[in-house]
Amino acid sequence: MGVRMKVGFIGLGAMGLPMARHIVDAGHDLTVASRSRGPVDAAVGFGASEGADAKAVVAASEVTILCLPSSPHVVDVLDAAMPALGPGKIVVDTSTISPDVERGQHDRVVGAGAGYLEAPLSGGTAGAQKGTLTLMVAGEEATLEAARPALDPFAGLVVHVGGPGMGQVVKLCNNLIYAAQMLATAEATVMAQHAGVEMEQLYEILTHATGDCVAVRTRLPAEGVIPDSPASNGWAPGFMTDLMAKDLDLAIDYAAGAQVPLFTSGIVRQILGAASAAGFGREDFSAMAKVIRTLAPE
């Protein structure tokens, strides 16, 4: 291996736990903390050490990675960790949060003498498990170079996209496209099912035609067509409905401030809301198709 580092990881969810495993497998010393006991025990089981809290994780680490659900979670963790931040410390936030909130966190961490990067992720749980995630990194170039050994174990592509906040903007652009893909894929699938089209044939044609996209290839919402899709596995989440709704809220809010219209995102957000209201909030966001099915005639 290359440089051996002391790495911290806070937030061992569906993305964070496999990312943490790659860091240990790469030979780094890893200290972890998370809200739930189970993932911490799992991480200790594959070679990590447990930190008592966010402050302890940062104190033990050169680079601390955050992988948290929302802006308030990131702010709360950094509130707790601030006493341990200073020269020689780097924080990398891989969460998807408000660009404006992220800029604020950058400023206060850098103000304490530490380095700060935002590095929102794309690739879902499958990418986290394979170590092939795309990282949209914003912050100082020198800080990225210093942190690279801690990021490379779970990254397939690292792109430095600019200054504070820009990583989050790029991530929100990605997700609003993905959400729109998924709604169109769900609508087309339900229409085809209603007409009696064979789903395997639909999948074969779409993946060799101009309708091809990531949503079709990974999440065509027809049970049994794609073996590892959410629809074929009880709608188990690779990306939860509630989290995609949160990301669209962030995109819509940011676009409103910039006076950029997001027509499609407003429609998709309503369908995601209906899916959550129907009890699918913690299922994969491709469960939007179940909402559309209920609206179609028998």
Please indicate, yes or no, whether residues 155 and 17 belong to a single structural domain of this protein: yes
Is residue 1 assigned to a domain? no
CATH number for the domain harbouring residue 290: 1.10.1040.10
Helix (H) or strand (E) holding 20, with range, is: helix 16-25
Average pLDDT for residues 187-197, to the nearest whole number? 97
Query: What pLDDT score was predicted for residue 243?
Result: 95
Do 182 and 239 contact (CB within 8 A), yes or no? no
In this prediction, residues 20-39 reach a mean pLDDT of 97
Residue 279 confidence (pLDDT): 98
116: domain CATH number is: 3.40.50.720
Task: Give per-residue pLDDT as tens, 220-240.
Answer: 999 999 999 999 999 999 999
Q: 212 and 142 share a domain?
A: no
pLDDT at 198: 98
Same domain, 47 and 112: yes
pLDDT for position 270:
98
Question: Given a cut of 70, is residue 256 above it in pLDDT?
Answer: yes
- pLDDT of 201 strictly over 90: yes
54 in a domain, yes or no?
yes
Over the chain, what is the mean pLDDT? Answer: 97
Give the tens place of pLDDT for each residue, 72-105. Answer: 999 999 999 999 999 999 999 999 999 999 999 9
How confident is the model at residue 125, as a pLDDT?
A: 87
Which pLDDT band, with edges at 50, 70 and 90, does 258 fall under?
very high
pLDDT band at residue 298, thresholds of 50, 70 and 90?
A: confident
The total domain count for the chain is: 2
Instruction: Flag whether pLDDT at 1 surpasses 70.
Output: no
Task: Please give the positions annotated as active site.
Answer: 171
E-assigned strand segments in the chain: 6-10, 29-33, 49-50, 63-66, 90-93, 115-118, 121-122, 133-139, 155-162
Mean pLDDT of 177-188: 98
| Residue 197 structural domain | 169-295
78 in any annotated domain: yes
> What DSSP line would sit under 92-140, residue for residue?
EE-S---HHHHHHHHHHHHHTT-EEEE--EESHHHHHHHT-EEEEEEE-
Same domain, 234 and 109: no
| 297 — pLDDT class (breaks 50, 70, 90) | confident
Of 136, 162, 188, which one is at a domain's C-terminal end?
Answer: 162
Whether 129 contacts 15, CB under 8 Å: no
Residues 130 and 228 in one domain: no
Percent of the chain past pLDDT 70, that is, above it, reads: 100
Q: Are 18 and 153 in contact (CB under 8 A)?
A: no
Distances (CA, A) of 210 to 55, 146, 179, 281: 50, 42, 18, 30
Do 229 and 291 fall into the same domain? yes
Based on the fold, state whether residues 203 and 95 are members of the same structural domain: no
Residue 54: its pLDDT value, please?
Answer: 97
56 and 149 inside one domain? yes
The per-residue pLDDT for range 153-170, each reduced to its tens digit, is 999 999 999 999 999 999
* Per-residue pLDDT, 179: 98
Whether residue 138 is predicted with pLDDT greater than 80 in this model: the reply is: yes
| 125 plus 175 within the same structural domain | no
